[in-house]
Amino acid sequence: MKGVTTVTMKNQRQCRRFHFTKRAIDALPANDPDSLATDAEYSDQGCTGLHLRVSKAGRKFYMMRYTFRGRKQCIAIAEHTERFGVAEARLMVAEYKAMIVKGMNPKDEREAQRTDVTFEEFCASQYIPMARARKKTWASDEKKIERVLNPMIGSKPLKAITARDAVAIHAKERDRASATTANRVLSTLKRILSVAVRLGFLDKNPAASEEKFAEPPPRERYLSREELPRFLRALDDDADGISVAAIRMLLFTGCRRSEIVSLRWDQVRRTQSNGNETWQLYLPTTKNGKPRTIQLNSKAVAELRNLMGRRDAEARTKDSDYIFPSRNGTKKGYVFDLRKPFEKALKAAGIEGVRLHDVRRTFGSWGVQGGASIYSVQRLLGHRNVDTTQSTYAHLADESLRQTSENIAAMIDEAVDVANAKATDSTVRSDGDVVLVEKAG
């Protein structure tokens, strides 16, 4: 019996040790409610010292077990969430091991850091490295930190930041820019402080209770049917053919600026079906994090054919993999800023109040006005959520529906008119039967 117990305990220890992956950890059950232990503990085969505790409520926390100067130690790392996973936990274990090699106790160092670390230091050492690894828009967060947050609270100890600081930052940014911009800054601040809570630098998020300002409705500006021909003619007069072609592709596809300017020739796909050739653009990475394929219309295809036909005509395009290569060989390798040729064309066409992003809105607006459903426009524009499309183009969809309804009313009138015309060529007996009478002549 004793031998059986030993084998059982050994098997249990083996089950508690495995190679940590997100899928495996997500699948772990909550600790048995009847267990004497508060948490079930697991160890990572892929990273010595990394452990995971699972509570009876199902919450999961990373921790590190290590030995420092002959004494066994344990340091909490963070809770397992969508934003903090195995990769981040292993990275922190590696950092703690490096401290041990230098003769420093990670637990003592972290306690000292928690007390003294400033907001700016935390962002530089903790938040930005994590955001860079997991967040596509980390560069945008970095700009908000450098331009807005650091000047106001960068030198302040993290633990000294209060709800009043969050209110002041939010209000000042609204006064400086707009409610929408202020709300984006507030979201970034909340996210940073939430990470600080998860990593144990703060007990609670001081900005959590600050609510967003009411934002104005989305811009409704787009190129009208009268403006668009003038705008296209003005583009044709610009000498910078590559930048102008990129602007036209924005209009013909409804893509985002970043999706078009960074296009490579290997993203253009041509297929034959029943004797017909179709052209597509494949976008491996998009704003919503998912790849998508764009079906190209005849205007976009003609633009690409033109670019392809004169690709070897100048050095700028001949040896570049990019469809819209930069003129001076910038770091990115492709045209990045289209504002100058865009604003030049607007001025020449006598058009005011239009921004570059409104070209994308023009594509979506014309689609809705042409009778396309909100869901079709959502797919064309690559919106993750149909609510985004609905909030921007719903009023145009309503107008399209009104026109469709009016068309139905006209069809009803036409049917009634036809019936009335037939009635003049018939006689009706008292019993209601209709007898057709041949027309005279």
Distance CA 232, CA 342 (A): 11
The pLDDT score that the predictor gives to residue 175 is 93
Distance CA 241, CA 105 (A): 61
Tell me the H-state helices in 102-226: 106-116, 119-122, 128-134, 138-144, 150-153, 163-176, 179-198
SS3 of 242, please?
helix
Name the nearest CA neighbour of 55 among 43, 65, 42, 74: 42
Category of 32 on φ-ψ map: left (φ > 0), alpha (ψ -120 to 50) or beta: beta
Q: Which residues of the chain have pLDDT under 70?
A: 1-14, 113-115, 218-219, 329-331, 386-408, 424-441
DSSP string across 85-98: -HHHHHHHHHHHHH
Provide the terminal-to-terminal Cα distance of the chain, rounded to the nearest Å. 115
Q: pLDDT digit string (tens) for 126-155? A: 899 888 877 777 888 999 999 999 999 999
The pLDDT score that the predictor gives to residue 438 is 47
Distance CA 392, CA 365 (A): 9
CA angle 22, 25, 28 (to 5 degrees): 150
CB atoms inside a 10 Å sphere around CB 63: 18
Please report which helix (H) or strand (E) contains residue 278, including its range: strand 276-283
The pLDDT score that the predictor gives to residue 330 is 58
The pLDDT score that the predictor gives to residue 363 is 84
The pLDDT score that the predictor gives to residue 411 is 76
Please name every residue paired with 39 in a beta bridge, in sequence order, or none if there are none: 55
- What pTM was computed for the model? 0.53
Exposed (0-12), middle (13-18) or buried (19+): which is 243, by Cβ within 10 Å? buried
The pLDDT score that the predictor gives to residue 390 is 65
CA angle 38, 41, 42 (to 5 degrees): 165
